[in-house]
Amino acid sequence: MTSPADWPYPRWVAHRGAGKLAPENTLAAFRQGAALGYRAFECDVKLSADGVPFLLHDATLQRTTSATGTAGERPWSELSQLDAGSWHGRQFAGEPLPTLTGVAAFIQQNGLALNIEIKPTPGLETLTGRVVAEHAARLWAGQSMPPLLSSFRPECLLAAREAAPQLPRALLIDTLEAGWFEMAASLGCVAVVTNHQLMDAALLARVQGAGWRALVYTVNEPVEAQRLLALGIDGLITDAVDRFAPAAG
């Protein structure tokens, strides 16, 4: 069971580090979200070939960087040289892929909260869950607000629990498949994060009735945000950082 003291996270969470007005999963995006008043951020973390946790949504590089191919097959020495900003706009040319270490520093220096989505290169679920959790535990040691670790992949959360059982975990759910509730329970999750279209009063009651928090992604329309807030949702992950003022949530 969780209590309010166990849940220090703001209700509004900027998706991919506020990656709409600035390139997703870069520090430029985090800076943009913070400037708009966001106090909590979600980002996607995977491993370089030599085990460095860094931010990238896709398994491949071509959509959001100057390179192509599978990101997880390259060492950090190569990934760190890529341009992760030009695809979004010329003003972001040269914006690098951030490491989890760099993001931790930004988050902590600014008193912010972080939701780390463990987004493994396919086939590396257990390794990624373990290494990301080990880094997160070390980077946030002694901090009052630990990062929330989430994943669509139970193997990631299982490995994270074994590596850093003290860090809070959340199961991400895109469709309500049989066994989701038991899976979240067996992983010792404190929250469930669903596609917003799945969330209704019955599901919210099931999640909160288990003592978990209920969060949703990715809410970009005001009418939908109002529906979810009226239900009593605990967290909304949004791209629309220029539309929703987080203090109003």
Q: Which is nearer to Mg ion, 102 or 206 (CB)?
A: 102
Distance in Å, CB of 77 to ligand G3P, minimum? 26
Is 159 or 215 the residue whose CB approaches ligand G3P more closely?
215
Structure token pair of residue 147:
């990062």
Is 88 one of the annotated active-site residues of the chain? no
Enumerate binding residues for Mg ion (CB under 5 A).
Answer: 44, 117
Pick what 172 binds: ligand G3P, Mg ion, none; C-beta below 5 to 8 Å, kind-dependent: ligand G3P
- In the residue annotation, 15 being an active-site residue is answered as yes
Q: How far is the CB of 172 from ligand G3P (least distance, A)?
A: 6
> What's the chain's length in residues?
249
Taking the CA atoms of residue 26, residue 32, residue 38 and residue 40 in that order, the dihedral angle to the nearest 10 degrees is 10
From 163, 165, 173, 166, select the one nearest 129 (Cα to Cα): 163
- Between CA 229 and CA 119, with CA 235 as vertex, the angle to 5 degrees is 145
Chain position whose Cβ is nearest to Mg ion: 117
Q: What contacts 42, CB < 8 A, 6 or more positions away?
A: 13, 14, 15, 16, 17, 114, 115, 117, 150, 217, 237
Which of left, alpha, beta for 41 (phi over 0: left; psi -120 to 50: alpha)?
beta
Q: Compare residues 46 and 74 and give the one whose CB is closer to Mg ion.
A: 46
With respect to Mg ion, which residue has the nearer C-beta, 117 or 125? 117
Classify strands 113-118 and 169-173 as parallel, antiparallel or unpaired.
Answer: unpaired
**Contacting residues toward ligand G3P, per CB under 6 A:** 15, 42, 44, 57, 117, 150, 172, 193, 217, 237
* CB 214, min distance to Mg ion, A: 17
Least distance in Å: CB of 142 to ligand G3P?
Answer: 26
Catalytically annotated residue among 15, 88, 135, 196: 15
Catalytic site positions? 15, 57
